[in-house]
Each structure stands twice: as structure tokens, then as C-alpha cells.
Structure 1
Amino acid sequence: MANLCSYGWNNQWQQLKNDLSYNELEHGRIISTHKTRYDVATTEGVLSCELTGNILYTKEPHEYPITGDWVVFQRFGELGIIIDILPRTNALSRKKSGTKASVQHFAANIHKAFIVQSCDANFNVRRTERFLIQIVDSGIIPILILTKADLGIDIDKLKQSLGKIGEKTEIFVTSIYDIESIDRLRKIINPAETFIFIGSSGVGKSSLINRLCDHQLLETSAISTSTGKGKHTSTRREIFLLESGGVLLDTPGVREFGLAVDSDDTIAETLDIDQLMGKCKFHDCTHTSEPDCAVLNAIASGDLDVGTYNSYLKLKREAMHFNETTYERRERERQFHRMVKEVIREKKSRDSSV
């Protein structure tokens, strides 16, 4: 018998289940997904589940269950059918790749997100900003993990390059060859607390997880000799239990991470530009060409890094594009539903007159 408390089940989740229409059914947590099939941790072990037709045919793909979700299901022999999803505390999302602006939720009910960056040429401040903004916007605690500290890189200089965002998160410097650095990281992982590792390929994420778990949990691979870039070793999002406590959610290496935020407020706050904005002469200042713009003045005086400013403009445009297209899509859906209701009303009116 498996103890679901190890996966994070508690009284709050039980209350949410009690409020569901199907609260008499079994519950479990999705530990991995395979398109429309799901591995669910239950009280009797891992059960392969599929979606009920009500979910499969009435919901959009972005509304389907994801890794980390708590679900209720009905068991049919060696197969389960997912009937409902418990309300999420949060979901980590990104803009789906491609030209169409749509959101992809890929992990749910997360306490902490470990942004993994390596202390080598792969280190990228702009990528860190992008991860950090999305994580904060999702209501998840961000923690920056710097790996491969044994390469002899100037760590203080690297931290300095982070600028203000280095003050927005705890930073852990690690090496798989330094057991003390791994122990320091292990101490911030609490029992039944779900934490996710996210980073690009080749940053040493899988090696760090294996060291953290004290055994070969994940496959690792060398840097590609043809491209000089890291190779994907994790192939899907999957949950593991740590022997010392904690629920680990691993993700494949991310090469593209489009923002999916509701507004640019989180962007400005994370990049520490929001306080400057309140000092501009015009309340609707775009911070691009207006006179007495506090943001532009800060750049001129050297108080604001021009790289951070350019990143803000880029991320702001990205967020605006995402939200405009999301609004347009929702408006089309509302118009369609109004049309359907009108057709139904007209049909009822014809039927009643016959």
C-alpha cells in the first residue's frame, strides 16, 4: 500500500475532494503523462489511466490533466478512468511553440522551482530572467541553482552579472563533486513538498538530481561534440519520491520558453523597474522616448543596466502579443457559444409553434 501523503496529499486536498461531485471515488496524483494516457500514483501503486469522454471531448487540450495534478478516477481492472481534476494551487506554463499564441501548462501544484544554470558558456542572464518571471507569475517560489562550480569560473563575477534579479531569489552554487554543496541544497527540500527542476539542455540537471538522490535516478549524457550544446536526457515530465522526503518533478531540457503572463507587471517588478515607472512625468509613459522618463534617466545615469532595459521591452512585447491573441481567441469562443444558444432558442421556438 502506497502512502499518498508522501506525494503531498493532506487535509486541504481532502477538503477539495469532498467538494467534488465524485468524492466517493479513489484519488491519486499524476506522476507522468503519455499523450492521453497517465501514470497515476494511488494507494495501491501506480495505475495507468485514460480520460473520461467528458474531459476528452468537452475540454480544450490545455485543460487536460498534467503532471502533478491530483485526480479522482474509477478503476476498471488494471486500467483507471480519470473522472475529474482537483482544483490546482498553481500551474507552471509557457507559450506553446509556433506562431499561434496558446498556453501550455506542463506542471501543477508546485511549491518551489529550481532554475538550473551552469557556470560555463551556457550561462545566460536573459534566460534566467525569463524563467524567473514565469515562475513568479505562477505563484511558485523560485530558487536559482548554479551547477558545475568546479570549472573554476569566477562565481562572484557571475552573480554580479545577474544584476537586480540576483536579489529576487536564493542562489545555490553547486558541484556534483562537492558533497557539502549538495547537502545545503537538500536541506531546503521539505517532506511532501513538490519541487521542479527546469533548465536548458547541458546544464547538468540530471547529474545534479542523481547526486541529490544519492543514486542513478536519471540517465546522463555528454555535451554534443557536433553542436557544443547539451543533449536531452530527460524525455518526459515525471515525478519521483526522494528517500529523504520531498517530491521531485523533473522536466526535459528547455530550448524555447515563451512567456505566458497576464500582464507586464510581473516583468517590471522582477526586473526591478516598477519603482522607476512610478516616477515618470506621464502616467501612461511607454519608457521609450517621453521626456522626464525616470526609466530612461536611470539608464543615462547608469542606475539601470541597458541590457535589463532591452530585455524588459522584449518581454513586454511578447506578453502583450500573447494576451492580445488570447483575448481574440476567447472572444471568438464567446461568439460561437452565443450563436449556438441562438440556434437552440430558434429551434425551441419552432418546435413550440408546431
Structure 2
Amino acid sequence: MPSTSQPKLISGNANMPLAKAIARRMSMHRGVDVGLCDARIERFNDQEIFVEVYENVRGEDMFIIQPTSNPANDNLMELLIMSDALRRSSAKRITAVIPYFGYARQDRRSKARTPISAKLVANMIVEAGIERVLTMDLHAAQIQGFFDIPVDNLYASPIFALDIMTQFKGTMDDVMIVSPDVGGVARARELAKRIEAPLSIVDKRREKAGEVAEMTVIGDVSDKICIIVDDMCDTAGTMCKAAQLLIDNGAREVHAYTTHGVMSGPAVERITNSVLKSMVITDTIQPTEAVKATPNIRIIPTAPVFAQAILNIWNGTSVSSLFETPTLEPVYEGQFAG
């Protein structure tokens, strides 16, 4: 049994709307007000980060909600400094809720004299006093092994499956899941299995990071409703090229489902002008006003699943149960009802 009356949440500045939404959902589930801890997180004139927690956290089960999205370095430092403040204030346990885990793309040495930054970040998180990490759709699953503490990696595919079965009701026989590269096949296959759809792959060859030299489609996409599935969309170059390639290969229409909407540089403009009929992202990264105003981008909330996962961790019950549709559907309370 937990020793405290309820879990305590604290948020950095990276995605305050998501943190507040998680708190609201937890309040609804618990039947008592679960607010965000009153704290001050600000910067000195030289941009050093300062944190002061105004509430007593001694012996409390603390959850820091802080994606390490752009600006990645600032948000990461906020997370580490908040953890240090809580540890020195005698918090019982500190869990980092990192909806989007930055530096995850640097998960191995791709060539000589390059860093494995994801491992470095993992070391920093552990050294800061964090005892558990809760995240969503890590870019590479092996990053869980970089930590010597428990890591719960939630998946967006069960949420996407519910949404797809609602949005494409009546045309599910024509739906085909597409992986935008060979590395994402496992993710795409898992979603295809959930909705009992066929799978296709776009094989891409990169000349250098951010530039795609050549793309080919593996599989017959003729007259199919193609759904590209990826864990993140950064500049949207690969996504838009893949969508055009699928149309050129006879696809009826192309949609995209992406967990993390990084949306750097020309991403919004590219998606707006692309052949993508719709693109679905989650709110693990706080969407900009430009993203929210784009007519073919739709945002799915992650607060329901994160709120339930936090409650499960606090109660000592299964987090992996949230990967199953019968468990997830009530969490979203008919949001995807047809």
C-alpha cells in the first residue's frame, strides 16, 4: 500500500498544458483534487535555471512531468535540477515522466568518433536522483537498457489503433499500414497486427542526416488507403516524400500517424502542401500555434494514458496492461466511439 495519500505532480516549462491535463484526469479518477505542486522555475540573467518548490514533499511519491523537447538542453536541465531539488527535500521516490525523450536518436555509434548521447543522458538522469522513468515510444527500444532503474515505455499504437478503427470504419478492408523505413517495421507491424491490416515498407537510402537520396516501395499499395506510421516527425521531409511515392505507386489516399510532432523548420509548410490527406500527432510535445492551425494535422491527447500509468505506478499495479485495447478503451472513455 502506498504510504502517501496521493501521488504528487510537478511540472517544468516544457509542456505545461499536458501536465495540467494529466492532473485533471488524475483528479477525475481519484475523486480528489490532484494539482501540480506549487513551484518556481525560472532563469537568472545568464540563463542559469533556478528551482524552488513551495510545498512540503518529504516522504512523498513525486512525478516530474517534463518532455525533453526543443529547446532540448534547457528542458533536460530543468528536469535534472527539479529532481535534485526534490531529492534534497527528502522526497520518498522521484519518477520522471518524459513523454518525449530527447537525444534518443543518438542511441549508437553510427560512425567513428561519435557519441552515444542517449546513454549519457540516461546516466545524468540516474545521477540526479530519479528512480524511475515513464516515457512514450522511445526512438530505439534498447535505450531502456541504458538505465539501471525501471523504465516504463508506453506505446501510442494502441491509441492509434482505436482512432484508425473509428476514422476508417467501413473501409478497413482497404487500409494498409506503411513503415517509412526498414528501422520502423516492428512498430508498423505491431499496429498492422492490431487492426488486422497488411503491411508495406518504404525503403530509403540516406546520403547524410536529414537528406534522403532514394526511396522505393516494398509491397503493392494500388488503390489502398495508406497509413504511414512513425515515432516522430521532425522536418517532415521523409514523411512527405514517402506520401508522394505511395500516391505515385497507385495509393488511393495517404494518411500519417506519428507519436512525437517535433515539427522543426519547414515541417508545417511541407505537410500543408503535401499529398497527405491527414496527419495525426500526439501532444507529447507541446504543439505550436502553427501546428494547431494546420487543417490536415489532428492532435490526439496522451493525458488519459499517462494519468492512468502514473496511478498504476503509484499503486504498484501493471503498466503494461495499458497496451491492451480492453484496458485502454475505458481510459479514453468513448473518445473513439464510432
State which structure, 1 or 2, has the greater radius of gyration over its C-alpha atoms.
Answer: 1
Q: TM-score, normalised by structure 2?
A: 0.27
Q: TM-score, normalised by structure 1?
A: 0.26
